[in-house]
Amino acid sequence: MSIYVPAEAMDADTDCDSHLDDTHSLTSPVTNYPIEHGRRYHRYHEGAYVYPNDEPELDRLDLQHHLYTMVLEGRLLIAPLQDPERLLDIGTGSGIWPIEAASVFPNARIIGTDLSPVQPTAVPPNVDFLIDDAREEDWLWNDNHFDFIRAAHLTGSLPSFEDLARKAFRYTKPGGYLECHEVDPRLGCDDGSLPMGKRDGFSEYALHDWLNLSIHSGLASDPPRQFRIAHQLAQCMRAVGFVDIKEHIFKVPMNTWPRDERMKVIGAWNERNWLDALSGWSYKPFFGMGWSTEEIEVFLVNVRKSIQDRSVHAYIRFYVVTGRKPLAEEQES
């Protein structure tokens, strides 16, 4: 059963698991989603998340999940979990990760939190979805509650990832794990085929300009949003106290340029993901810089062309970083 509980309806000092059967109805202030320029956005803590939550975006999130599951060769996580009791997926989106994790950990309770109650209602019995904002100082559970916390694809959503990691440390059991999945959108290329020059003030490869504008938009927002965080995950986790930190970096081609068949398939999925995402990723951030819908779409024409250019052998880096909360005796020492 999928249960939605507005954060304001819960006492942060109580154990949320003991109240999950006290279902709170979805009221219109939560589900009366604003529509802007043809895209739908969250209502709860409106404006905290600048990307859409409509059906095209939910379909894309499922596509993206499949993409990175392929990158991880079918794995949902890398942390060495053994018989976990409680798992948390922060910013669960469509809810596909908890739903698939339910069969991997049938004896565990798996919770997905999000600002939008857009997840399906027919879910495995050990899965629940809650409305919650991970930026809040207090979450819905007692300290040392979860065996595993997952924070994935939050690029451009948070003012401080280190702050999120600090809260995750608080709510992770000693010996439990935080695992972060993020993409560094800065492009890589190993053969010199990626154009780096400019012409008339614009990059020859338009995706460079989109990335720079997205980073600038995040820095200029109030509060600032971190658009590039993947390469800083390990440092942030170490700073708040996690140990045994392991950083795994995977190259993900932008399109089907690789000769290797597996990487070609991954590139095809990555290309589709970017092409489907660009408008949703651009609208609110670029509106905040004074752009119009028409200006954004004209600009994105060349961005899409650059992504589809098979002569450019570009890739992005997908980071999976795990960290363990020390056991009590380790913390004392």
Range of the domain at 12: 7-332
Amino acid at 120: P
More confident residue, 4 or 137: 137
Specify if 2 maps to a domain: no
> 163 in a domain, yes or no?
yes
Helix (H, G, I), strand (E, B) or coil at 197: coil
| Overall number of domains in the chain | 1
pLDDT in tens, 60-117: 999 999 999 999 999 999 999 999 999 999 999 999 999 999 999 999 999 999 999 9
Mean pLDDT of the chain: 91
CA 251 distance to own-chain centroid = 18
pLDDT tens digits, one per residue of 199-243: 888 899 999 999 999 999 999 888 888 889 999 999 999 999 999
Please report whether residue 159 resides in a domain: yes
User: Is residue 51 situated within a structural domain?
Assistant: yes
pLDDT at residue 261 greater than cutoff 90 = yes
How far apart, in Å, are the Cα atoms of 298 and each of 254, 273, 303?
21, 19, 9
Q: Which residues pair with 323 in a beta bridge?
A: 178
Domain presence at residue 307: yes
- 50 occurs within a structural domain: yes
Residue 1 located in a structural domain = no
Percent of the chain with pLDDT over 90: 81
Q: What is the DSSP letter of 314?
A: E
- CATH number at 255 reads 3.40.50.150
Read out DSSP for 213-230? HHHHHHHHSSS---S--G
Asked whether the beta carbons of 168 and 149 are under 8 A apart, the reply is: yes
Dihedrals φ, ψ of 217, to 5°?
-60, -40
Residues 38-57: what's their mean pLDDT? 93
Residue 121 lies in a domain: yes
